[in-house]
Amino acid sequence: MSQIPIELKRQPSRGTGAPTPAPALPRDRPPTAPSYFHIMAKPTGPICNLDCEYCFFLSKDALYPGDRFRMSDELLEVYIRQLLESEQTPEVTIAWQGGEPTLMGVDFFERAVALAECYRQRGQRLQHTIQTNGTLLTDRWCELLREHNFLVGISIDGPPALHDTYRVDKRGNPTYDKVARGLALLQKHEVEFNVLCTVNAANDRYPLEVYRYFRDELGARYIQFIPIVERDNDTGFQEGDQVTDRSVDPVRWGAFLISVFEEWVRRDVGTVFVTTFDAALASWYGAAPGMCVFNETCGNALALEHNGDVYSCDHYVEPGYLLGNITETHLVELVASPRQRMFGEAKRDTLPRYCRECDVRFACHGECPKDRFTLTPDGEPGLNYLCAGYKSFFGHIDGPMRVMAYLLRQGRFADEIVGMFAAAGRNDRCPCGSGRKAKQCHQSPT
């Protein structure tokens, strides 16, 4: 049951104790404000109970020396109000991330949910999400998450030996068992979860082992793979393509996605959802991919720090990308600000010619600007470090993607492709359009 105090359910305090009056919604909505944007709120800033070796958040505590890194109740209220006032789509996502957001405790999130109900605009539906390492989950946590239909992202990098390579606690001890305990609690309480798996130097050679583990051992239906790309010099975004030993190799990243795709497209379309594949299908179909890294422009995925500071993106929590603070400027004005709009458009406007002329640009768009630090073959700066992987992956999936996009345009379902592959005669041409016999193409073992 919820522990929300009844008086808070009915009437949240408005601005109680806020050091300065929080700005109200501007009378005229800024014309450059997008109708929808996504913001990741980090109530503990970068603070986490684990010490994953590749985590780029942990070093961010240097931005706020001496800070306690806890979002106050007053700021929580200001944020929820401004967020719900700013969004114009029927469904609004309230997303929590860290660091480790569960360090705030269940009570904080009960207040967040209650405030969201109080400030919900007419016709708005709320989707609560939280990204967690899962190690601090309890029955009480799961009751809250279930009651309010949270979508929980849980970070797991594969079977225990692969997961524990980099995902360790402050003493360097493995964490898999604690994560598995948290996941079991989520399943016991029937909380919807997705697995967020980083692909790194430890697991990039084991795509099928990782994917099948999530699908068959953990029962995951929603899986997101995130490539680990860590700059070696640790000084930001200047040119130079040295990366740490933990980073995924670009060619292996492509091979990893291809291997998982080949398993998925033969048997799991419609039952397992892999965000990269869904985004690619949307691009082949002609719709928005739904992943900022594959959009032509960005700028609509921001980050909110524990003290109200808003940054252009979660990957750009850097002084040069600080847009302002929501206790001084309303969130919608920060999102609509010329600096943020230029940040988003730069993703398209700074593409090197090699990308502009690339056959798979429509699906890749040069991926995330944070990883554009290598040179094109003709020496132009700004090529994505992962380019080789994306070129081979998007090139490889063209045939099946065309088939699935065609099915969707016919008003049919993309998962029909699984039956098409199975039903083809072994010596028939493969339905993917490769020109090869089915037995040598999508009927061959993965």
Q: Which of 387, 405, 414, 432 binds ligand SF4 (CB under 6 A)?
A: 387
Interacting residues of 258 by C-beta distance below 8 A, sequence separation 6+: 392, 393, 396, 397
Determine the angle formed by the axes of helices 106-119 and 73-86, rounding to 10 degrees: 40
Residue 261's closest CA among 393, 405, 431? 393
354 is a site residue for ligand SF4 (CB under 6 A) = yes
Any contact of residue 34 with ligand SF4 (CB under 6 A)?
A: no
- How far, in whole angstroms, is CA 306 from its chain's centroid? 19
CB 280 within 8 A of CB 264: no
Contact 284, 408 (CB under 8 A): no
Site string for ligand SF4, 295-324 (x = CB under 6 A): ---x--x-----------x-x---------
| Distance spanning both ends of the chain, measured CA to CA | 46
Show contacts of 361-368: CB within 8 Å, 24+ apart: 362/283, 363/279, 363/280, 363/283, 363/284, 363/289, 363/294, 363/394, 364/294, 364/390, 364/391, 364/394, 365/294, 365/295, 365/296, 367/293, 367/294, 368/292, 368/293, 368/298, 368/315
Q: In the set 391, 397, 401, 432, which binds ligand SF4 (CB under 6 A)?
A: 391
Contacts of 80 (CB under 8 A, 6+ apart): 94, 112, 115, 116, 119
Identity of the residue, 168 or 251, whose beta carbon is nearer to ligand SF4 in the bound complex? 251
Residue 314 bears catalytic tag: yes
Q: Does 368 bind ligand SF4 (CB under 6 A)?
A: yes
Q: Give min distance, CB of 424 to ligand SF4, in A.
A: 30
Size of residue set near ligand SF4 by CB under 6 A: 22
Under rule CB under 6 A, residue 366 binds ligand SF4 = yes
Binding mask 322-351 for ligand SF4 (x = CB under 6 A): -------------------------x----
Among 104, 186, 360, 405, binds ligand SF4 (CB under 6 A): 360
Interatomic CA distance for residues 83 and 93, integer angstroms: 9
Q: Which residues contact 384 (CB under 8 A, 6 or more apart)?
A: 355, 364, 366, 367, 368, 371, 372, 374, 390
Catalytic residue (one of 204, 309, 314, 371): 314
Judged by beta carbon, residue 56 or residue 273, the one nearer ligand SF4 is 56
**Distance in Å, CB of 88 to ligand SF4, minimum:** 19
390 binds ligand SF4 (CB under 6 A): yes
What CA–CA distance (Å, rounded) separates 298 from 296?
A: 7
CB of 370 to ligand SF4, least distance (A): 5
Q: In whole angstroms, how close is the CB of 153 to ligand SF4 at the nearest point? A: 15
Judge residue 28's burial from the number of C-beta atoms within 10 Å of its C-beta, 0-12 exposed, 13-18 middle, 19 or more buried: exposed
Range 264-293, binding ligand SF4 (CB under 6 A)? 292-293
Q: d(Cα 367, Cα 345) in Å, to the nearest integer?
A: 13
User: Among residues 281 and 368, whose Cβ is nearest to ligand SF4?
Assistant: 368
For ligand SF4, the closer of residues 229 and 301 by Cβ is 301
Least distance to ligand SF4, CB of residue 368, Å:
3
Does the footprint of ligand SF4 cover residue 399 (CB under 6 A)? Answer: no
Nearest to ligand SF4 of 94, 351 (CB atom)? 351
Question: Taking CB under 6 A as the rule, does residue 384 contact ligand SF4?
Answer: yes
Stretch that binds ligand SF4, among 218-226, 276-284, 325-333, 364-372 (CB under 6 A): 364-372
Among residues 243, 355, 403, 424, the one that binds ligand SF4 under rule CB under 6 A: 355
Q: What whole-number distance in Å separates Cα of residue 164 and Cα of residue 171?
A: 13
Q: Does 369 bind ligand SF4 (CB under 6 A)?
A: yes
| DSSP-derived 3-state class of residue 365 | coil
Binding site for ligand SF4 (CB under 6 A): 292-293, 298, 301, 313, 315, 347, 354-355, 358, 360-361, 364, 366-370, 384, 387, 390-391
Enumerate the active-site residues: 314
